[in-house]
Structure 1
């Protein structure tokens, strides 16, 4: 980490503020909260733009450079003024003046605003984001029909005790052994500073789990889990692929992740009543409000683009080790801030329609010698099966020599 950093917007292309649909944001790769540095970016709002009452996850400093910015109950800020606001402090509405307004934002936590929902008969702030409702939760033996309905209705559900204590111990042991060898540190190195900041500078992520962590193979190809994914995606595809099998270990002091949809990976993909991607996050440590339990916004796949969750529209995936949260990949969600003294570990197993290119390149991550030793269900999930859409009046995809790529693996 550098001891000093220069932030300069020269040559930086602005984009429209996604939280309001107007105004410009200038975002620099070195100002994305990575490597111990704060989030630093420039906001330019048009004249008379109003933002609703909101708060932020962390303390925020504003450095005003142009125009005027009036905040109800505080007054008007002008070029040359500096404003500080405490994490969780609700303020607003705020409105720019006749010439608009411009200011730098500096924060050591996710700076995205969280809109406040007012009570019907009193000007009180809604409950803090940490005190929000949860998702439908199911105990063993699982009622999969009810789980399917919960996912179809709210977009997600929690299943208790998905992994036994023995399996948790085995998987954690394998992960610890792999990380101790130091073959792959697992910290972001995608080549995109912006994407690496999204992944988290203090978060270890591993792909290729079928090779690196053999005890995860049975989990990735778990009969109940894959069947759930096939039912959820089945309207849109004849088969599913592993989108990503990922270790996610959120380090201490990691800020909250940017809210996102996993389907944002495919730019032109439309959302519908049936998903093309589903995700299972399996807790290998307890998920608490302190160590980063995942934020999930139920029903958000039905929302218009650009709409952000309000403070009372979040669920938190608070879970014991071994529990799993199942959800649609087009729900708005994100990892929470880890304010505890220890990392928080989980496996994220996502499945995608068989005609989409997965996030993880399993052909390179898992050597073919390993693939030949795997059970057929897992081989198919890694891409060694064709997507046969003929029954749905489509074609076939992923062929090898005009036949199934399983042929490359030899006799079964």
Structure 2
């Protein structure tokens, strides 16, 4: 029986807002996830272990996943996940953007990761807005024994200001094809791997479009690579302006570089929100009428 379900329910969105996390079951094709794992296997093998207590001395990590597997775009642009991310982040930005794609391999003997909130990388106001939505995609089965992600329910939003963690953590056991979705304000961390096998997964995260993303997307996917992406994916990795005019190249959308660096100077073109356009139009009309009146005197 195929349980693939491309859309979240209202209950999923409510659960994410209420508890800070939700596990979406069967929102990606397991065959696609298996192909991605196969595409990444050589890179997993070649990648050295991380250095530092946060990343984990028995853990391997690498990014730029959109160039490492042709099916990776399916996870980044998964409609169920994007709907949740847009719902959670949309009130505070004009558009969301890709923050990170990272493959993670946790080896036997790995210690539990330091519990943390990913929003803290920006040092903005806490408890007022959401900055980030994380999605953990299992490549291998996530279990309590092999280091499945631990999530502290109800530790998000304004509760992120509390020094107390409250409830005990939930072990997010999941299978390939499932998506573990949690907010950037939610306390979480990888579990210890007490099994005899590796635990492989992928993090895809989305942040407010006006933030500096964790992974430098323009270096990860320069114009000569991103121009071959679907337009929606190219926009997600940064080849679109966040109104008003943020992230432009010479006053235009950076996607202009898909045709190569221009030989001639470009004209800067306004890219404004509707409310700003309306205020600007009123201001210009007033100034024009005043100028016309002065000329008529």
Q: TM-score range by the shorter chain?
A: 0.7 to 0.9
Say which structure is richer in strand. 1
Give CA deviations for 1:243-281 in whole Å, capped at 9, x if unaligned. 111111111111000000000101233322x52210111
Q: Is the 8 A contact 2:5 2:28 kept in 1?
A: no
Q: Does 1:279 align with 2:134?
A: yes
Alignment partners' CA distance in 2, 1:368 and 1:143: 33
Q: How does 1:147-296 map to 2 (within 5 A)?
A: 147-180=12-45, 182=46, 185=47, 187-188=49-50, 196-272=52-128, 274-296=129-151
Query: Which residue in 2 is equivalent to 1:37?
Result: none
The 1:142–1:223 alpha-carbon spacing in structure 2 relative to 1, beyond 3 Å, is closer
**RMSD, matched Cα:** 2.0
SS in 2 for 1:246: strand
Alignment partners' CA distance in 2, 1:270 and 1:403: 33
Q: Is the 8 A contact 1:211 1:367 kept in 2?
A: no
Query: Which residue in 2 is equivalent to 1:192?
Result: none
Query: Which residue in 2 is equivalent to 1:386?
Result: 241
Cα displacement (A) at 1:231: 1.7
Give CA deviations for 1:353-398 in whole Å, capped at 9, x if unaligned. 000000001111224322111101111111111101xxxxxx3311
Q: How does 1:120-131 map to 2 (within 5 A)?
A: none
Query: Which residue in 1 is equivalent to 2:267?
Result: none
The 1:336–1:176 alpha-carbon spacing in structure 2 relative to 1, beyond 3 Å, is same
Query: Which residue in 1 is equivalent to 2:276?
Result: none
Higher relative contact order (CA 8 A, sep 6+): 2
Query: Which residue in 1 is equivalent to 2:208?
Result: 353
SS in 2 for 1:248: strand
Cα displacement (A) at 1:325: 0.9
Q: How does 1:106-121 map to 2 (within 5 A)?
A: none
Unaligned runs of 5+ in 1: 1-137, 190-195, 389-394
TM-score scaled by length of structure 2: 0.81
Cα displacement (A) at 1:332: 0.5
After the TM superposition, which of the residue ranges 166-175 and 141-150 deviates more from structure 2?
141-150
Say which structure is richer in helix. 2
SS in 1 for 2:100: strand
Match of 1:410 among 259, 266, 283: 259
Alignment partners' CA distance in 2, 1:306 and 1:233: 22
Alignment partners' CA distance in 2, 1:408 and 1:221: 23
